[in-house]
Structure 1
Amino acid sequence: MIDRVRLHDRIQRSTDILVALVMLTLTAPLMLAVAALVAWRLGTPVLFRQARPGLHGRVFTMIKFRTMRDVDPDRGLITDADRMTRLGRILRATSVDELPTFLNILKGDMSLVGPRPLLVRYLHLYTPTQARRHEVRPGLTGLAQVRGRNALSWEDKFDLDVWYVDHRTLRLNLRILVETVTTVLRREGIAAEGQVTMPEFTGSRGRARGVARV
């Protein structure tokens, strides 16, 4: 079992490097165009940088294209809904805002497939089981993203994350990548009901969870 997992993780890392190099090369013209649009509509910097916990909870800086205006109480720009721009909605709906994240994959901060990296301030809120999502590198996409994305409850997301950790295979990764394309094209689960993205995670209150189903 341990040897199988180690072999899987080595192959996955090699695949991550190859795909990241190819994608960064192929999408370079698109990223330059998006960077120019973001600079024009939102100003600089064009990249959004934020600390996120990765493998074993180690913190790294994730990069994406900016989709929101800066917080400015004087202009009424406080909540995510206030700060989100039309350009930002398009970038998020098409996942184009995620293209710079291939640099994180190339560096080894992230993987193509794995639990999505969340906020550092959530670390102390996880149950011991939920914290197991950090036993693998966080992913650009993951099982939760193709099973509902932001339309899922936090608990259902974490169930799927931990199920992935225990059952990860190259075949499952390929299946998730294929389903990700469909999810993006259909623009499914971009936001939770009544939210721009997801509500704040405040803990699961010790609620017992069932086994995730895929």
Structure 2
Amino acid sequence: MSLRVKHILDKFIAALGLIVLIIPLTILTILLAIYYRGNPFYITERAGLYGHPFKLYKYKSMKMLYDENGELLSDEERITTVGKILRKLSIDELPQLINVLNGTMSIVGPRPLLLEYNELYSDYERQRLLMRPGITGWAQVNGRNNIDWKKKFAMDVEYVTNYSLLFDLKIVILTVVVIFKREGISQDGYVSAEKFRG
């Protein structure tokens, strides 16, 4: 029953958030469209509930830049000055309110990861796919990208197995603290985190 309540609350909060933020988000979207000279959104496929694919929305923080061989440059070389600011303030995640509204994500849950990771999880780690991915989560308020994959997944499973609305509230409050402290945005040597390799 609590999961049903969670889903209803998620949609209500997402709808309210989009209504309240409609003017600043519209202005930001226009400014980013001008800055990037095109689509201001980064749309990518991620693993959702039970590992099913869905399209995740974010504001762009990088440009599509290639080397002389046509290979995509590293994240460090492609991230923009504006992108760094968006990431520090977690503003790049705001379009995911659309994902929450369409039911592919929750406000709180394990972060959505690449589809290719589905085949790399152990049975224990695969439990993270038993709940909708979230904009924020237990791992995000306990180190974010500064902790290794093993600890991240352990926290994801801890969240899934101990879920409650009070747990969600705790994570939301801690998320605000983490954003203001700007902690764990990137792992040493990476714009976000090293790829998971199983």
| TM-score, shorter chain, exceeding 0.5 | yes
Could you tell me how far apart the structure 2 residues matched to 1:130 and 1:11 are? 25
Separation (CA, whole Å) in 2 of partners of 1:33 and 1:93 = 19
Query: 1:77 offset after TM fit, Å?
Result: 6.0
Q: Provide the rounded CA distance (Å) in 2 between the counterparts of 1:180 and 1:116.
A: 13
Whole-angstrom distance in 2 between the partners of 1:116 and 1:83 = 23
1:162 pairs, out of 157, 173, 195, with 157
The residue number in structure 1 matching 2:124 is 129
Q: Is residue 19 of structure 2 the alignment partner of residue 25 of structure 1?
A: yes
Please report the TM-score for the alignment, with normalisation by the length of structure 2.
Answer: 0.96
- Report the Cα offset of residue 133 of structure 1: 0.3
- Displacement of 1:37 in angstroms is 2.3
Number of the residue aligned with 2:137: 142
Distance in 2 (CA, whole Å) between partners of 1:196 and 1:91 is 13
Verify the 8 A CA contact 1:56 1:135 in the aligned structure 2. yes
Choose between structure 1 and 2: higher helix proportion.
1
Instruction: Name the counterpart of 2:115.
Output: 120
Quote the Cα distance in structure 1 between the aligned partners of 2:34 and 2:71. 21
Q: Identify which of 85, 92, 99 aligns with 1:97.
A: 92
Tell whether 2:42 aligns with 1:52: no
Partner of 1:37: 31
* Equivalent residue pairs, number: 197
- For 1:128, what is the secondary structure of its paired residue? coil
Task: Give the direction of change, closer, same or farther, for the CA distance of 1:66–1:176 in structure 2 (3 Å limit).
Answer: same
Q: Which amino acid aligns with 1:173?
A: D
Structure 1 runs of 4+ with >2 Å offset:
74-77
User: Match of 2:139, SS?
Assistant: helix
**8 Å CA contact retained: 1:69, 1:77:** no
Using the aligned pairs only, state the percent identity: 37
Partner residue in 2 for 1:8: 2
Give the Cα separation in 2 of the matches to 1:144 and 1:42.
Answer: 31
**Cα deviations across residues 157-201 of structure 1 (Å, max 9, x unaligned)?**
000000100000000000000000000011000000121110111
Q: Could you tell me how far apart the structure 2 residues matched to 1:130 and 1:143 are?
A: 15
What letter corresponds to residue 101 of structure 1 in structure 2? Q
1:167 and 1:71 map into 2 onto residues whose CA distance is 43
> What is the identity, as a one-letter code, of the residue corresponding to 2:44?
Q
When the two structures are superposed, what TM-score results if normalisation uses the length of structure 1?
A: 0.89
| Distance across 1 between alignment mates of 2:36 and 2:150 | 34
The question of whether the paired residues in 2 share the 8 Å contact of 1:114 and 1:164 is answered with: yes
Letter in 2 for 1:53: A
Question: Alignment partner for residue 183 of structure 2, among 184, 188, 212?
Answer: 188
Equivalent position to 1:109, from 104, 109, 126: 104
Task: Give the RMSD, CA atoms, in angstroms.
Answer: 1.3
1:198 — aligned with what? 193
- Cα distance, 1:40 vs structure 2: 2.0
